[in-house]
Structure 1
């Protein structure tokens, strides 16, 4: 997924601006970069193997921060940042 994101953000430019080693969990992208990624990544399936069972997730949307994405857990609303 990180390589795909870099390919999308670098586009057809000869100079590589985004490299997989640069993108970390605390990397913030500019709004114009998010606008490039959103239509390209919507619907992409992600296969996870880090838990006891394999799961496949489909990307629905990209948000600017993990703080803005919230879900319900044990009857309480928590952000992705709070959860992890």
Structure 2
């Protein structure tokens, strides 16, 4: 699997001032919806929030990979946001 085929420049945001984990997740889901990668923004957001409720997806060194399983996914893909300030969560 080539990761570069699962995203594009429109799905990558640099220097964001988002302040909370919820803002970041909503932003990323919205980007995926705008790019036509998911068919239902609310359903996919609910799936990601449900997954986050089980175990947070933060890894290390400020990296997190929030995700969810949903029939709203049209195409396997991912969005990226790099924050100006880390989120303490």
**Higher share of residues assigned helix:** 2
Higher strand proportion (structure 1 or 2): 1
TM-score (norm 2): 0.26
Normalized against structure 1, the TM-score is what?
0.27
